[in-house]
Structure 1
C-alpha cells in the first residue's frame, strides 16, 4: 500500500492486512528476547567503544536497545509510540558519555541485527513486512536521537557561554580564584597556558564560535565575551609567546572586532594572573583614542603616556620607576637622553652641547635603547622617554 503523507510518524504504514497483523506482532514478540541478546553481542563484537565502557553504561545501553526493540513491537501494532521515549530509560549523563556518532552506531547495529534475526527466526512470509517496518521505524528512531542530541548541544552551548562569560567577568574584576579556574577547566581551558587579554570594540554581528575557530587556526585558544560595547578575549595556546609575536597572531583576527583599536595586555604565565593583563588592556583601550594614528592592533605598553595622562597610576609607576629608573642608574645615559631630546633628536647638536664625539652619542643612544626598550631616535618612543623622565623627576622630587 502507498503510505499517506499526512499520517503521523509514530504510526506505521500498514505493511500487511489488518487481519494478519496481530499474528505478525505476536510472532515477532515471541523472538524479541533472542533478537535483543543478538544485538548486545553484535555491539560487543563490532564496536570497541562499547567494550571500553563501564558496566553501568553498558547496562544502560542494553536497556536502550531492549526498549527500542520493544518499541518496534508497539509501533508495528499501530499503537501510539514516541521514538524519543526509547532514550528516556537512560540517565541524562549518558548523553555525555555516548556521542551522537556512537548512538548512530547503536541504531544502525540494532537495525542490522533485527533484519538478520528476522531472516533466521521468523517465517518467510513474515519477512518482507517486518523488514520494511524495521527500516521505517529505524529512520524515526534516528531522527529522534538527532533531535535529542541537538537539544542537548544547544543547552550545553548556552550553559558553556554563561560559564565563559563568568570567567571573563572574574578576570576583568581581578577575582580569579580556584572556583574560576575550575570553571575554565570545564570549558577545556589549559589553566597553565601562558595568557594574554585583548580588548576591542564588539561588532553587532560578532559570532564568538566563528571567532574561536579562526583563533584556533592561528594557534590561539580563546575565551571571549562581549561586555557592553567592547569584546574581551583571553588568549592562550602555542601562539602566545613573546608580546610582539602574540600581537602578530591576534592581529589576524582584527576583522572580528569593530572598527578601532584592539589593545593587548602583557603576556602572563597562567589564567590565575590574567587579571593583570586585563587591567592593562582595559586601561590601554580607554586611552587609545588619544593616539588615533597608532596601529590598529597594539600592545598596552605602547600606550603608556596616554594611560598615564588618563589617570592610570600603574602606567605612571612603570614610566617613573622602570623606564626612568633604568636611565637614572647611569648619569651619562640620562644626560644624553635629555640633551638629545632637547636638541630635536640631532646627533651633532647633542654632541656639541655635551662636548663629546658624535660616535659617543650614537653609542649612548644604543645603550639607552637596550636598557629601556625605547629608541630616542624614534619620535613616538622619544615621547615615551620624555614622559618617563618627567614623571620620574616628579616622583623623586616628592620623595
Structure 2
C-alpha cells in the first residue's frame, strides 16, 4: 500500500466524518483505524490503535493540562475578572472608546491567567457588554473587539496550547515556548487596540474620565494578587524552580486561595467547577489519545516526508513554503479547534519548517498564532459564537466589523512568521534556547 493511498484514506475518512458531524476525537480514531487496516491485519490493527492511544497519555507533562483548566475555571468564578477589568479601565480610561479598550486589555490579562480564549471572551466580554450597551456602543463593534482580543491568552503565557505542542514537537522546551509567545501575544493585543481605536475615533466614542489617585491605588492593589500568578507560575517554570505540571498545581492552589480570600466561591461553585474541568479534560485527553494513533500511522508510512516532498516540489523558496503552511493552517483553523489541529499538523509541518531552517520554538508560535485566528472565524470559531451571543447581536452583523481585525491580524501573523526575532529574542536572552 503506497504512502499516498494511506494519506488520502486517512485524511479523506477524517474530513468526511467531520463534515457529517462526527465528534473530532471519534473521527480521528476511526480514520486512524481504517488506515492501519491497510497496513496490518484486523487483530493487529486493533491492538496497535489501543496501544498507541494508551501510550499517548502516559506523560507526566499531561497533568498540567487539567490543572491549568481547573485554575482557569476557578478564576472564571472567583471574582478575579472583575478586578482585572478595573485595572484595564484604569489603563485605558482616557482613550476614545475606553470601554472597548478595557475589554481588550482585560482579555489579554485574563486570557494570560486562564489560558483560555473562550473563558476570556465569556468572563470579560460578559461583564463588559451591559456597560457598553448603556454607553451607546454598537453591539457588533464591541462583539468584534471582544472576539478578536480573547485569543491573545493562547499566546501570552502560561498556556496549555504550548504544552500540547511541546509533547508533539519532540520535547521542545515549554519554558522557551512560554517566553516566545509573550511578545507576539502582546503585539496581537496591540494590533486589536489599534483597529478599535481608529473606529472609536471615527464614531466619537467617549472616554471614561479621570479617577482619583486614591481610587487608582486601590484598583492597582486589588489586581496585584491576580497578576502575581503570572510571575509566580511562569517565573518558576522559566527559572527551573518547578516543572510546568508543578507550576499548574501551584496555579490551582493560588487561584483557590485567592478566590476564598475574595469570598467569591461557595461549595456549590466548587462542585460545578470540578464538573466542568473533568468534562473539558476528558475531551482533550481523548483527542490526544486518538491523535497519538493517527501520528503513529503518519510516522509509520512516512507521510510527513511525502507531504514535505509535495510542498518542496511546488517551490524550494522558504518564503513560499512558509506562506503555503500559513494558508493551510488558516484554513484548518476555520473548522478545527486548536488542540486537535496542533496534534495532527505539528508532525506534518514541523519537519518541513525545520528543513528550511526554522526553529521549532518559532514554528510553535506561528502555529498557535494561526489557531488563534481560527477561533474567531466560522464555521467552528468558538470565540466568535460566544462573543456574538454575549453582545446580543448576530453573526451577520459582527462579521463586517470583524473583518478589519482579521486583516490586521493576518498582517501581524506574517510579521511574526518572517521576523523570528520577535519570538526568539526573549527566550534567547534568558538562555532558554
Question: When the two structures are superposed, what TM-score results if normalisation uses the length of structure 2?
Answer: 0.17
Higher strand share: 1
Higher helix share: 2
Q: Which structure is higher in RCO with an 8 Å CA cutoff and minimum separation 6?
A: 2
Question: When the two structures are superposed, what TM-score results if normalisation uses the length of structure 1?
Answer: 0.18
User: Computing the radius of gyration over CA atoms, which structure comes out larger, 1 or 2?
Assistant: 1
